[in-house]
Amino acid sequence: MHKDPLLETDLYYDVVVIGGGIVGAGVFRDLSLNGVKVLLVDKKDFSSQTSSKSSKMLHGGIRYLENMDFDLVFEALHEKNLWLKLAPHLCYESAFYMPVFKDSLRPKWMIKIGLFLYDLLSSFQNSPHSMANKEETKKALPHIKSKGLSGAGIYHDAIVDDARLTIEVILDGLEESNSRAINHIGLESFEFVGHRVNVNLKDELTSNTKTIQCKEIVMATGPFTDEILSTHPQLNWKKKLLPSKGSHIWLKKGSIDISSPLVMTPNDGRVIFVIPQKEHILVGTTEENHNGSLFDLTPNDSEIDYLLDNLDQYFPDAKVTKEHIIGKFAGIRPLVSEGDSDKAKTARHHKYYQPRNNLHVIMGGKYTTFRIMAKDVAQNICAKLGFTYNSILSKKPLRIIPNFKPFSGTQATPEQIEKIKSQEFVRTDEDLMRRISVTD
């Protein structure tokens, strides 16, 4: 599967975007739609790191209501509902149950007010919330703990295939003839020379190198941003990130008798989702300080024990153990420091910096709000380069015909796999598995 796409790449682009997660993909698509010649590269596979290590949700962030982050929730809810229309084959709305016990931090009346506010901030685009009594909750969640159970709040968010959405956003950008996207291309260095940027790239699979010139360079590198910029000799970049590790586990179907997603709210203030998806159940996430390598992380034993312990508190009769785990993954949330080291309370607003006139750095934010993040960057760059920016273009449906519909209930056929290999940047066996496997 190894090819030499870097050698076939043009020597000049208006913009080079470093980082092929969902934010970089969004910037790439938005610029392409507005006529800008743009190159997107990623050191690993597209969406192989943070952007495929999420809780597989498009959501407003119900936990942020307590922090009074109403503008963020409003923005995210409207983006969630937009993508339900733009890419219905990649995401779908689902009811989420939030059980309430007599010793819960938030009583039922508080939950009801919060869920009404959640619907209000969606401009009532969400399916309306409701409240269930104890008996109704037990019927919906047969394994739920009975002792102290008061009922549950029910609200609506969306389930998404995060990795495939990133890939299809990139593919939509490639519908414009001037654009190019290559994975497994590392950034060796970059240098500001007059009004241009020399970007030195290396193919991580073939070791080929090439220098690309551009007018503008965008860093959409998530948790890797500080590492890339803080040592650059032409910059005075001060580290801004608070890396927070989040881990998930996949359970066998039937490990818990559950057909709708559930929100666990431990008394430590965190939020853990239990989401049945296809033939598995996703449980996560954790929040841990992280100071080591940022690539290809896996959950540690304490994180797995934390998730299992909370499952046991909510579903004591299910007796979920490590033997029920069929997969696990972890990623880094690129939280931006605002002088508060309490990551559980750090807002997820995105930040946009320009350390130099032609260097654009986009950080923080939520997966759900990637289009808004991309818009901020693309609009500025288009104005600088003399392109007319049309904000409506990124609100249009993806134009490609999907090679695979992840929520169809079927496995990818040999014909679909061949199309994926030829059209979706598959350069290694791992790339292919990421395109078609839910538990990666």
Dihedral in degrees, nearest 10, Cα atoms 337, 338, 342, 348? -80
Which residues lie across from 91 on neighbouring strands?
160
pLDDT of residue 438: 62
Instruction: Check residues 19 and 268 and name the one with the higher pLDDT.
Output: 19
Give the pLDDT band (50/70/90) at residue 108: very high
d(CA 306, CA 258): 20
The CB-side HSE value for 397 (13 A sphere, CA atoms) comes to 11
Give the pLDDT band (50/70/90) at residue 345: very low
3-state SS, residue 40: strand
The CB-side HSE value for 197 (13 A sphere, CA atoms) comes to 24
What's the length of the chain?
Answer: 440
pLDDT of residue 270: 86
Residues 6+ apart with CB under 8 A from 193: none
261-317 per-position pLDDT tens digit: 999 988 787 899 999 987 899 999 998 888 878 888 899 999 999 999 999 999 999
The CB-side HSE value for 409 (13 A sphere, CA atoms) comes to 0
Q: Is 68 left (phi over 0), alpha (psi -120 to 50) or beta?
A: left
Q: How far apart are the first and last CA of the chain?
A: 20
What distances in angstroms separate CA 419 from CA 41, 249, 404, 414, one per listed residue? 21, 30, 9, 9
395 in Cβ contact with 86 (< 8 Å): yes
Is 249 exposed, middle or buried, given 0-12, 13-18 or 19+ CB atoms closer than 10 A?
buried
The stretch 227-236 carries a mean pLDDT of 94
> The dihedral of CA 220, 224, 226, 229: what is its sign?
negative
For 277-297, b/e burial (b = at least 16 CB within 10 A) is beebbbbbbbbbebeeebeeb
Give the pLDDT band (50/70/90) at residue 343: very low
> Residue 215: what residue type?
K
Supply the pTM of this predicted model: 0.94
380 in Cβ contact with 391 (< 8 Å): no
In this prediction, what percent of the chain has a pLDDT beyond 70?
Answer: 97
d(CA 243, CA 233): 24
pLDDT of residue 440: 53
Mean pLDDT (the chain) is: 92
In the numeric block, which tokens belong to residue 205? 């699979």
What distances in angstroms separate CA 76 from CA 14, 125, 408, one per listed residue? 30, 12, 26
3-state SS, residue 185: strand
Residues 6+ apart with CB under 8 A from 224: 19, 294
287 in Cβ contact with 343 (< 8 Å): yes
3-state SS, residue 409: coil
Question: For helices 370-385 and 22-33, what crossing angle results, to 10°?
Answer: 40
User: What structural domains and CATH numbers belong to the chain?
Assistant: 5-51+163-240+346-436 (3.50.50.60), 93-158+243-335 (3.30.9.10)
